[in-house]
Amino acid sequence: MLTSLSELPGRKAHGPKLAVLTAYDYPAARMLDDAGVDLILVGDSLGMVVLGLPDTTGVTMEMMIHHTSAVCRGVKRAAVIADLPFASYRTPEEAVLHSKRLIECGASAVKLEGGVAMIPQVRAIIDAGIPFVGHIGMLPQSVKEEGGYKKKGKTSEQIERLIADAQALDQAGAVAIVLESIVPDVATQITRQIKASTIGIGAGSGTDGQVLVTPDLLGSFPWFRPPFAKPHADVAGETQRAVREYIAEVQGALS
Ligand code: KIV
């Protein structure tokens, strides 16, 4: 189990693969940390799976600060990565200001979406001494411009762009890069070409690690689950069973 981001290069070279999960609150973070997950991501998926928003573009810095603080209170060992939300890194100065606020909450690193176009922001964050995690491929914060959640790496133009994005982030000093919804062969190729650890989601098994949105793993958000996410529990079913049992008990059916 990972105890510091400085162990990432060793894990890329020698394994085992990184097991990464999202958390949005204190009890989940404490359980994931105790269970030995390598990294905990306070993802802006928060907006969809906790706050009931239609996509991640409604997530604000105030929401991220609130939830990152709660997660960090529950974690003793794992490094916590916090997402910079939509429109919080339009300039390098804004990116650094908001990254510092998330680090003050207890995060060890910050993540933002984008590659070559974001290099000035990425350099500014790293120059400010803040460990940085990239995110390329399908970018949920761009869902409106893109007109949906689409797999990347299907055309030679997309493959070239993904490789250029990954190399630019790697050269800028990213410690890790999330590869989201990328054709598996392309994700594997990127993983072999860069020093940073790759963390895949819907990108096949050739990356240095995997990340899942924890409610998808636990089956606690039954209304939508991406096809690549294999649930390992049915928390929604068990919650409803317990609630129905409680209702019956209160209403006397079991007395
Ligand atoms: O917001 C999030 O949970 C993420 C993961 C999907 C990687 O960015």
Q: What's the pLDDT tens digit per position in 210-232?
A: 999 999 999 999 999 898 899 99
Write down the pTM of the prediction: 0.97
Residue 148 scores a pLDDT above 90: no
Do the beta carbons of residue 225 and residue 231 sit within 8 Å? Answer: yes
Counting from 1 in the atom list of ligand 1, the atom nearest the Cα of 213 is 3
Any idea of the CA torsion for 114, 119, 125, 129, to the nearest 10 degrees? 120
pLDDT cut 70: percent of the chain above it: 99
Do the beta carbons of residue 191 and residue 198 sit within 8 Å? Answer: yes
Q: Which residues are identified as catalytic?
A: 180
- Sorting pLDDT into bands at 50, 70 and 90, what band is 255? low
Which of the listed residues 25, 64, 178 should we mutate to test ligand 1's pocket, taking the one with most ligand atoms within 8 A of CB?
178
Q: What is the pLDDT of residue 179?
A: 98
The pairing of beta strand 18-22 with beta strand 39-42: parallel
Which residues, judged by CB distance below 6 Å to any ligand atom, belong to the binding site of ligand 1?
Answer: 22, 41, 43-45, 83, 135, 178, 180, 201, 211, 213
Q: What are phi and psi of 41, to 5 degrees?
A: -105, 120
157 or 146, which is more confident: 157
Which residue in this structure is represented by tokens 């995060």? 107
Average pLDDT (172-191) is 98
Averaged confidence pLDDT in the chain = 97
Q: What is the pLDDT of residue 49?
A: 97
Q: What is the pLDDT of residue 147?
A: 87
Average pLDDT (140-167) is 95
Residue pLDDT, tens place only, 97-113: 999 999 999 999 999 99
For ligand 1, atom 1, name the residue with the nearest CA. 43
Residue 246 scores a pLDDT above 80: yes
Residue 50 scores a pLDDT above 90: yes
Distance of CA 210 to the CA centre of its chain: 10
Q: How many CB atoms lie within 10 A of CB 1?
A: 13
CATH class of this structure's domain 5-212: alpha beta
For ligand 1, atom 6, name the residue with the nearest CA. 213
Average pLDDT (124-144) is 97
b/e per residue, 160-175, with b = 16+ CB within 10 A?
Answer: ebbbebbbbbbebebb
48-57, 130-139, 143-152, 197-206: range with lowest mean pLDDT: 143-152
Q: What is the pLDDT of residue 1?
A: 86
Q: What residues does each domain of the chain span?
A: 5-212
Sign of the dihedral defined by the CA atoms of residues 115, 116, 118, 123, in that order: positive
Residue 33 scores a pLDDT above 70: yes
- Sorting pLDDT into bands at 50, 70 and 90, what band is 254? low
Angle at 12 between CA 8 and CA 15, to 5 degrees: 105
Q: How many CB atoms lie within 10 A of CB 232?
A: 11
Do the beta carbons of residue 166 and residue 193 sit within 8 Å? Answer: yes
3-state helix, strand, coil in the chain (%, to 5): 45, 15, 35
